[in-house]
Amino acid sequence: MVSDPIDIRDQNSYTTDQFIVQEAFKPDLKQILISEGEIVSRISRMAEKISESTTKRVESELYAACVLKGALRFFGTLTPKLSPTGEYSEGVIHASRYTEGKTTETRAEVSVPERKTIEGKDVLIVEDIIDEGYTLESIVENISAQDPSSVSIAVLFDKRDRRKVEIDIDYTGFIVPDEFLVGYGLDYNERYRNLDHLASLDSSVLKG
Ligand code: IMP
Ligand code: MG
């Protein structure tokens, strides 16, 4: 749609010594794929596009929903840059795939804001990364059931090569390679969320 994501799948990456990276993280990281500066600049542009979309309808009431916890950092950078023409409010969505030993599980457990808070509003789902797509599929289903005026999706990172279900993403930051990624809010066992850049995790960490 309005999205013109930056595809970094064939781009050069950086070593962990070329940017400031916590020493404790360095042995676990393979490469830095996107620096914080690039991520923030891209989010500014995404915010501009989202704001433009609110000018199309006078009655628009934007409700930005942060998918916890991975999207917290993206949300915190994005939302101050928004300048919606109409009303604006925000909230959170909890989502988790049941993954324990069951790789076939395609449903995500989702809890969304109650009907009276999002009914009639233009809900913008703000998510860190889309992989197979099941999580966002469940979120959209749950949000739509609360009768919003519209639903749109902003995703910072898109692991497009792994998609299993088709989902229309309105705003995409970057198309990223099929690797396990951490940083800028993304975690592995709750670690690395506070890494400023997007990095690939070394396979030794995933095995151990
Ligand atoms: P999906 O249902 O396969 O699209 O999974 C999306 C969710 O899985 C995201 O919201 C993340 O929480 C998590 N996820 C997928 N890939 C990664 C990754 O590379 N690093 C960290 N979390 C990931
Ligand atoms: Mg997530």
pLDDT of residue 104: 64
CA of 124 to the centre of ligand 2 (A): 15
State which amino acid sits at residue 146.
Answer: Q
Contacts of 121 (CB under 8 A, 6+ apart): 61, 62, 63, 89, 148, 149
Q: Is the pLDDT of residue 176 over 90?
A: yes
Helices (H), the chain: 36-53, 72-78, 115-118, 134-144, 203-207
What are 80-95's pLDDT values in tens digits? 999 999 999 999 999 9
Nearest ligand to residue 136 Cα? 1
Closest listed residue to residue 29, CA positions, set 185, 190, 179: 179
pLDDT of residue 100: 53
- CATH 3.40.50.2300 for domain 6-207, yes or no, is no
Q: Is the pLDDT of residue 103 over 90?
A: no
What are 110-129's pLDDT values in tens digits? 999 999 999 999 999 999 99
Q: Which residues are registered as beta bridge partners of 95? A: 110
Average pLDDT over residues 153-168: 97
Please give the number of the atom of ligand 1 that sits closest to the Cα of 128: 10
Q: Which of 135, 179, 189 to mutate to test the pocket of ligand 1 (most atoms within 8 A of CB)?
A: 135
Average pLDDT over residues 197-206: 96
The ligand 1 site (C-beta within 6 Å) comprises: 70, 97, 127-136, 159, 180-182, 186
Average pLDDT over residues 34-58: 95
Contacts of 2 (CB under 8 A, 6+ apart): 49, 53, 170, 171
